[in-house]
Chains A and B, each alone.
Chain A
Amino acid sequence: MDKILEVKNLRLYYHTSKGAVRALDDVSFDLYKGETLGLVGESGCGKTTTGVALLKMPSPPGRIEDGSKIILAGRDIMTLSEKEVRKTVRWEQVSMVFQGAMNCLTPVYTIGKQMMETLREHRDMDKKQAEELIKEYLGLVGLPPEVMGRYPHEMSGGMKQRIVIATALFLKPKLVILDEPTTALDVIVQAQIINLLKKLKKTFDLSFIFITHDLSLEAEISDRICVMYAGKIAELGTNQQIYGKQGPMHPYTEKLLQATPLLRKKVESLSYIPGTPPDLIDPPKGCRFHPRCHKVMDKCSQEEPPLLEIEPGHMVACWRCGK
Chain B
Amino acid sequence: MSINENDVILEIKNLKKHFAPHQSLAQTLTGKNRKVVKAVDGISFAIRRGEIFGLIGESGSGKTTTGKLVMKLIDPTSGSIIFNGEDVTITDKERTQAYRRQVQMIFQDPYASLNPRFKIKDVLEEPLIIHKLPGDHVEHERMIIKALTEVKLNPPEEYMGRFPHMLSGGQRQRIATARTLILNPMMLVADEPVSMIDLSTRAEILHMMKDVQRDLGLTYLYITHDLSTARYFTDRIAVMYLGRIVEMGNADDVIDNPLHPYTKALIDAVPEPVTGKVDIIKELPISGEIPSPANIPPGCRFHTRCPYAKPECSAEAEPELMDVGNGHFHACRRYKEI
Q: For A189, what are the chain B residues with a Cβ–Cβ distance below 8 Å?
A: 58, 289
Q: Which residue among B267, B275, B277, B290 has the maximum number of chain A CB atoms within 10 Å of its CB?
A: B275
- Is A261 within 8 A of B266, CB to CB? no
Residue A79 interfacial (CB < 8 Å): no
CB of A263 within 8 A of CB of B270, answer yes
A192 on interface, CB distance cutoff 8 Å = yes
* A199, A257, A259: residue with the most chain B Cβ atoms closer than 10 Å: A259
| Min CB gap A163→B, angstroms | 14
B17-25, B34-42, B184-192, B280-288 - the one binding chain A: B280-288
Stretch of A7-15, A58-66, A115-123, A213-221 contacting B (4+ beta carbons < 8 Å): A213-221
Whether A219 contacts B272 by the Cβ 8 Å rule is yes
Interface string of B202-238 (1 = CB under 8 A from A): 1110110000000000000000011111011000000
The 0/1 profile, CB within 8 Å of A marked 1, for residues 113-157 of chain B is 000000000000000000000000000000000000000000000
Is A53 interfacial (CB 8 A cutoff)? no
Expressed in whole angstroms, the minimum distance between the Cβ of B286 and any Cβ of chain A is 6
Contact assessment for B59 and A186 in the assembled complex, using a CB-CB cutoff below 8 Å: yes
Indicate the member of A188, A219, A264 with the most B CB atoms within 10 Å: A188
Bound-state Cα–Cα, A301 to B183, Å:
44
Interface string of A227-266 (1 = CB under 8 A from B): 0000000000001101110000000000111011111101
Q: Which residue of A158, A187, A255 is within 8 Å of B225 (Cβ)?
A: A187
Report chain A residues within 8 Å CB of B225.
186-187
Which of B87-95, B100-108, B193-201, B293-301 interfaces with chain A? Answer: B193-201
Does residue B255 face the partner (Cβ distance < 8 Å to A)?
yes
Give the distance in Å from the alpha carbon of A242 to the alpha carbon of B269 in the complex. Answer: 22
Min distance, Cβ A180 to any Cβ of chain B, angstroms: 13
Does A267 make an interface contact (CB < 8 A)?
yes
Which listed residue, A157, A217, A266, A276, touches B168 by the CB 8 Å rule?
A276
Does B3 lie at the interface of the complex (its beta carbon under 8 Å from any beta carbon of A)?
A: no
Say whether A219 contacts B281, CB under 8 Å: no
B31 interfacial contact with A, CB 8 Å: no
Contacting residues, chain A, for B277 (C-beta < 8 A):
219-220
- Contact among A187, A192, A260 for B227, CB-based, below 8 A: A187
How many chain A residues touch B (CB < 8 A): the figure is: 52
Q: A186-B59, A270-B206 are in contact. Are A214 and B168 (CB under 8 A)?
A: no
Q: Is A262 a contact of B272 with CB atoms below 8 Å? A: yes
Residue numbers in B under 8 Å from A272 (CB-CB): 200-204, 207
B interface, size bucket: 35 or more
- B109 at interface by CB-CB < 8 Å: no
State the Cβ distance, B334 to closest chain A Cβ, in Å: 20
By the criterion CB–CB under 8 Å, are B271 and A216 in contact?
yes
* One of B231, B275, B289 near A219 (C-beta < 8 A): B275
Flag whether A43 is at the interface (Cβ < 8 A): yes
User: CA A195 – CA B290 in complex, angstroms?
Assistant: 18
Of B202, B275, B284, which one neighbours A239 at CB under 8 angstroms? B275
A74 interface hit (Cβ, 8 Å): no
Complex A-B, nearest 3 residue pairs according to Cβ-Cβ distance, in ascending order: A270-B203, A243-B275, A272-B203
* 9 other A-B residue contacts (CB within 8 Å) besides A219-B277, A255-B200: A42-B200, A188-B269, A188-B286, A190-B271, A194-B282, A195-B284, A216-B228, A216-B273, A259-B200
A–B complex contacts, Cβ < 8 Å, 25 sampled = A42-B200, A186-B290, A187-B227, A188-B265, A189-B289, A198-B281, A219-B273, A219-B275, A219-B277, A220-B271, A220-B282, A223-B278, A239-B276, A239-B278, A242-B275, A255-B200, A256-B199, A260-B273, A261-B226, A261-B231, A261-B232, A266-B231, A270-B232, A272-B202, A274-B204
Show the binding face of B for A, using Cβ within 8 Å: 58-59, 168, 170, 198-204, 206-207, 225-229, 231-232, 252, 255, 265-279, 281-282, 284, 286, 289-290
